[in-house]
Amino acid sequence: MKKLLILSSILAAMSFPALAQEAPAMDADENGSVTLEEFVAAYPTLEDAETIFNDADTDSDGLLSDEEIAAAYDAEIIPEME
């Protein structure tokens, strides 16, 4: 499982340079997904953070996967971190 997570991180870094830097910063517990609480902590001044999180959470499981984060960046749903 850990090898799969590492491979996933490498592929994400190759495909999505911004994601390679920002997703780990959001994933505080380093479990491979981002919760609403982690997202809000990563964007403390973002208005409507919960709405933005829910828009990015396309499978409505309450977590943002690497793929959902990448898609949300591409669609400019999630702003780049400063």
Quick check: is 7 in a domain? yes
The pTM score is: 0.70
How many folded domains does the chain comprise? Answer: 1
Residue 24's pLDDT is what? 61
Quick check: is 21 in a domain? yes
Quick check: is 44 in a domain? yes
Contact indicator for 73, 19 with CB cutoff of 8 Å: yes
Query: Domain limits at 53?
Result: 2-74
Task: Report pLDDT digits (tens) over 13-57.
Answer: 444 444 444 556 889 999 999 999 999 999 999 999 999 999 999
Quick check: is 82 in a domain? no
Quick check: is 79 in a domain? no
CATH number of the domain bearing residue 7: 1.10.238.10
- Give CA 28 to chain center in angstroms: 11
Largest separation between any pair of C-alpha atoms in the chain: 36
Quick check: is 49 in a domain? yes
